[in-house]
């Protein structure tokens, strides 16, 4: 029990250290685009993935063993902590300015790393708070909770595995996410505007949405054009990033860009 408490405290400190990583700062120097990442970044990814695999493989065993014997489970808690420390170390290295990672990559790594650590923390905390219940077998109302918590850990580790490994893919993921949002918004409100034009003021669509009134239509049309312009601008930014980013090489240390 004492070992579990120690691990929980360590995870809380680790979570706080990642939380304090800067979200917004001066634009970072990007030293690579798609190929030829620095060796420190390659090592950081290896450590990050190793930590994710250790957490994934340990979480299920920890849940099963701890429900039977807390002391035996505490031995596995150390492995969970070790895996989380690997994940945190990888994230801290990627955040270092000398590594040359874009803001998009840093934000994705921070989000995914924190998810892994918090999911492990929630699992351990749950057993600390409910040890007697689980050991006595009187957890009929909560029998799925440990499995669900473990499932959350697996999901977080899966997302860690799917992180983009270079600046190009990280930035494209951000831009394409915004592009999809623009497209969905455009399609939704185009349909609503079309029904408003055809159906008149106050008409109700089949999905329950109320159509625009004649006074609202000019504002809706202008907003729709703004969304369309935003979608086009993001497309242009995607092409510009590809063009400029492709010119980056790792052969020249001065060949870096502010993003």
- Residue-wise pLDDT for 165-212, tens only, equals 888 899 999 999 999 999 999 988 888 888 776 655 555 544 456 677
Separation of first and last alpha carbons in the chain: 48
Distances (CA, A) of 247 to 88, 165, 240: 32, 18, 11
Lowest-pLDDT range, 25-34, 75-84, 121-130, 143-152?
25-34
| Residues sharing a CB contact under 8 Å with residue 201, sequence separation 6 or more, in sequence order | 211, 213, 214
Higher pLDDT, 259 or 34: 34
Total length of the chain = 259
What is the pTM assigned to this prediction? 0.78
Burial 60-72 (b: 16+ CB within 10 A, else e): bebbebbbeebee
Tell me the two tokens of residue 249.
Answer: 């090489």
**pLDDT value at 259 more than 90:** no
Tell me the two tokens of residue 43.
Answer: 């090592």
Torsion-angle region of 172 (φ positive above 0: left; ψ -120 to 50: alpha; else: beta): alpha
Where helices occur in 20-38 by DSSP H, the ranges are: none
Distance CA 171, CA 102 (A): 8
Tell me the two tokens of residue 9.
Answer: 């405290």
Q: Mean per-residue pLDDT for 12-22?
A: 90
Distance CA 118, CA 135 (A): 24
At residue 198, the pLDDT reads 64
Provide, rounded to the nearest whole percent, the portion of the chain with pLDDT above 70. Answer: 81
Tell me the two tokens of residue 30.
Answer: 């990007």
In which band, very low, low, confident or very high, does the pLDDT at 145 lie, cut at 50, 70 and 90? confident
| Residues sharing a CB contact under 8 Å with residue 49, sequence separation 6 or more, in sequence order | 90, 160, 161
In which band, very low, low, confident or very high, does the pLDDT at 110 lie, cut at 50, 70 and 90? very high
């Amino acid at each position: 029990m004492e070992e579990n408490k120690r691990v929980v405290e360590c995870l809380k400190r680790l979570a706080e250290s990642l939380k304090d990583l800067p979200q917004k700062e001066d634009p970072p120097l990007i030293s690579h685009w798609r190929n030829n990442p620095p060796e420190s970044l390659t090592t950081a990814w290896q450590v990050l993935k190793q930590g994710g695999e250790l957490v994934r493989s340990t979480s299920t065993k920890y849940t099963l063993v701890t429900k039977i014997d807390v002391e035996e489970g505490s031995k596995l808690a150390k492995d969970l902590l070790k895996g989380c420390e690997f994940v945190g170390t990888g994230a801290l290295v990627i955040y270092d300015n000398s590594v040359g990672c874009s803001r998009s990559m840093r934000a994705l790594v921070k989000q995914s790393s924190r998810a892994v650590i918090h999911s492990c923390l929630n699992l351990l905390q749950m057993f600390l708070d409910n040890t007697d219940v689980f050991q006595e077998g009187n957890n009929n109302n909560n029998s799925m909770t440990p499995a669900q918590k473990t499932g959350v850990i697996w999901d977080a580790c899966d997302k860690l595995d799917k992180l983009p490994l270079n600046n190009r893919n990280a930035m494209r993921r951000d831009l394409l996410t915004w592009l999809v949002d623009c497209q969905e918004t455009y399609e939704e409100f185009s349909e609503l505007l079309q029904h408003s034009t055809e159906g008149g003021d106050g008409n109700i669509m089949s999905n329950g949405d109320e159509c625009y009134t004649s006074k609202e239509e000019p504002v809706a049309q202008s907003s729709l054009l703004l969304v369309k312009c935003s979608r086009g601008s993001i497309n242009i930014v995607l092409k510009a990033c590809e063009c400029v980013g492709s010119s980056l090489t790792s052969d020249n240390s001065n060949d870096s860009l502010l993003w």
